[in-house]
Amino acid sequence: MALWGGRFASGPADSVAALSRSVDFDWRLAPYDIRVNLAHLDGLIQSGVIPNGNGEVIRAGLKALGNEIMTGKFSYDDSDEDVHSAIERGLIAKIGAIGGALRAGRSRNDLVVTDFKLYLIDHLLDIASLTVNLVEAFNKQSRTNLEVFAPGFTHLQHAQPIVFGHELAKHSQALLRDLDRIGDWLVRNSASPLGAGALSGSGLQPNPEISAQNLGFDGVIANSIDAVSDRDFAAEALFVMAMLGVHLSRIGEEFTLWSTTEFSWVQIADEYSTGSSI
């Protein structure tokens, strides 16, 4: 199901359709697409574009479809171009042509970028929570080892005596900077793109602040063209996660070294260990 049309007398070539098809990897946005559609629906109802009665039918259909997505009962098929067309197809199949009214005042441009932001917000919050747990674990071990002395190494050679708690605490400091970066990202991306439409907004959705509030954003992006045309938030999130990944890799490499016979500083539990093929 394509969400575009017009002067075209025939459909696209199979190769073009395959190139345009993104549903295989953007299906992970489906729960967020439901959330964004529900928020958009509230705006359309409050602005009078969709009557209350019709709006409640659409709302019930979206919620039911969302539940089916979560349980795996509903998914995309070969006819779907992307997550948005799949969900519209499912909604219309469930409640009839009235489901198409959700397109009013909305474009895939602002829909997908809002989905994407919500996806990143949720996942970065989950990552931040796990990182906090790791920081607390390092801090606990650092306090436990305040009076344990160990050699400090340069080039894997004994260099200076150190407190082992100080050695462990270095990881907390790096991880705290990662948490700061996540926090900065969340502040910078606390405005909603929904309502920007294809690029210049829509008179059918005159109060995008309603949708923004319903989705948990602090406000609306100031420039509608910027809202739908830039993906710097994704690039920045990739850097934040890459930097965290480097720090986690450093921890893993260090613990691997410390678990060797030559060090014997830590013992890694069997369920987190592997062996040599020789």
Q: Which helix (H) or strand (E) holds 120?
A: helix 108-144
Whether residue 155 lies in the annotated active site: yes
Residue corresponding to tokens 């602005």: 47
Whether residue 229 lies in the annotated active site: no
Contacts of 261 (CB under 8 A, 6+ apart): none
Which residue from 231, 197, 2, 201 is spatially nearest to 110, judged by alpha carbons?
197
Report helix, strand and coil shares of the chain as percent, to nearest 5.
Answer: 65, 5, 30
Contacts of 41 (CB under 8 A, 6+ apart): 50, 55, 58, 59, 62, 102
Identify the active-site residue in 15, 200, 264, 276.
276
Question: What gap in Å lies between CA 64 and CA 209, rounded to an integer?
Answer: 26
Contacts of 36 (CB under 8 A, 6+ apart): 111, 114, 115, 118, 194, 211, 215
Identify the active-site residue in 10, 155, 200, 264.
155
CA distances from 10 to 7, 14, 81, 82, 89 (A): 9, 12, 16, 20, 21
Query: Which active-site residues does the annotation give?
Result: 155, 276
